[in-house]
Amino acid sequence: MTVPVKASANYNDNSKLQQQAISSMMALLPTDFQGKSITVADYGSCEGQNSVLLVHQLLSALPDLRAANIIFNDQPNNDFSCLAKTIEQNMQALACNGRLDVFPSMIPRSFKEKVIADGSVNVGLCNASLHWLSPESPGIGHQYFPPMSVAGPVAHQELVSFLALRAREILPGGTLILGIAGKGEFSFEPGLRCLSLAIDDLESDGRIPASVASTCRSPVYFRTAEEINMAVEAEGSWTISGRHDTALPEASELWLARGQKPGEDSQNLDEEFRTKLCDHLSSTIIGSSGNTILTAVRKQTGDFDEIRLLQDLSDRFKHHFFEQFTTGIGGHFYYLRLSRK
Ligand SMILES: C[S@@+](CC[C@H](N)C(=O)[O-])C[C@H]1O[C@@H](n2cnc3c(N)ncnc32)[C@H](O)[C@@H]1O
């Protein structure tokens, strides 16, 4: 089965669901910041499209502001050239049409370490980035879904540690807004499982070196609301000053066009609609993680046929998804506004 992959393997072009998550997060942005100049840090910016939307929304709601330092952070293997272009293309919007002097910077370092000097940030943001666990944590390794009994305690510890690090960077009275992809009716899990199987296939065929395939499998854990609360309480530096959660089904427009709720009557779906869903999912999942996989392969092997590799990955993904067809794909996002005590 060969269906063309969407031309783009960029996160920016394939993260509409995360963009919806960002829209929900906007309701929690602080509107009572008093100073003339602000420092905002976005943790896990990826290629930046969604981050600039969120930062723009924050800055434009603060009419007395005159200057902003904006720090975009991600892991060193992120596509920082793409992030730089996104920032450049959005400078006018970030500067609120000239009202603000804007000073953007990019920090390539894991947010599991200190990223910014102590006491230097007013508002921290982090969307759709905290469900990834460190492969280096005990018992985790390079597998998408580590055993729950190991992953649960590690996820707790990693969130506690993230909150403690941010409590050093964010000033007392400052704010941290989190959007966490967690457990719920809709889940990314089936899609990630099929991606993992597709990577396995290309590894067995010798198309992706074993060492690269291994680094492409980033462990995830989807927390419950209770688990998130427990981590905030255990860490102790933050008060929860706002919260809500939302279910975000993937491909909702395809379901709505049929007059059905996402996931409804999933036993009786015709072949044509299953194919449509599968194409959509393959575009978003392979599209949003494609760049990371291509970069990892490029580093190890030099030049290769990138379009062909993406196409093969997409074909394998679709094959597995058809075999294990399931609906209910998407995310459940938990949003928190935390105030630094
Ligand atoms: C799904 S993207 C979310 C991007 C953006 N925040 C948004 O809302 O669209 C997750 C990003 O988190 C980043 N990330 C995951 N773990 C990280 C870590 N330990 N340090 C920094 N960035 C991390 C990934 O590299 C990826 O770019």
From 46, 111, 248, the mutation candidate for ligand 1 (largest count of ligand atoms within 8 A of CB) is 46
pTM: 0.91
> Is the confidence at residue 11, as pLDDT, over 80?
no
- Residue 25 alpha carbon to ligand 1 centre in Å: 16
- Residue 177 alpha carbon to ligand 1 centre in Å: 14
Q: Closest ligand 1 atom to the C-alpha of 15? A: 9
Eight-class DSSP state of 27: T
Comparing CA positions, the residue from 180, 334, 330 lying closest to residue 254 is 330
Contact (CB, 8 A) for 18 and 49: no
Please list the residues that pair with 123 across neighbouring strands.
Answer: 40, 175
Contact (CB, 8 A) for 43 and 158: no
Confidence of residue 85 (pLDDT cuts 50, 70, 90): very high
Confidence of residue 21 (pLDDT cuts 50, 70, 90): confident
Mean pLDDT on 214-230: 93
Neighbour count for residue 101 (Cβ, 10 Å)? 12
Contact (CB, 8 A) for 106 and 72: yes
- Pick the range with the lowest mean pLDDT from 42-51, 108-117, 188-197, 288-297: 288-297
Contact (CB, 8 A) for 243 and 214: no
Eight-class DSSP state of 12: G
Instruction: List ligand 1's pocket residues with C-beta within 6 A.
Output: 15, 18, 22, 44-46, 50-51, 73-75, 78, 110-112, 127-129, 132
Give the residue, by CA position, lying nearest to ligand 1 atom 10.
Answer: 129
Comparing CA positions, the residue from 89, 145, 135, 334 lying closest to residue 231 is 334
> Is the confidence at residue 236, as pLDDT, over 90?
yes
pLDDT of residue 4: 36
pLDDT of residue 336: 97
Q: In which residue are the tokens 């902003």 written? A: 68
Mean pLDDT on 88-114: 97
Task: Give per-residue pLDDT as tens, 131-177.
Answer: 999 999 999 998 888 999 999 999 999 999 999 999 999 999 999 99
The greatest distance separating any two alpha carbons of the chain, rounded to the nearest whole angstrom, comes to 59
- Pick the range with the lowest mean pLDDT from 64-78, 204-218, 222-236: 204-218
Q: How much of the chain exceeds pLDDT 90, in percent?
A: 68
Neighbour count for residue 272 (Cβ, 10 Å)? 8
- Residue 325 alpha carbon to ligand 1 centre in Å: 28
**251 vs 179 pLDDT, higher one:** 179
Confidence of residue 325 (pLDDT cuts 50, 70, 90): confident
Topology adopted by domain 12-187+218-250+330-340: Rossmann fold (3.40.50)
Identity of the amino acid at 90: N
pLDDT of residue 20: 78
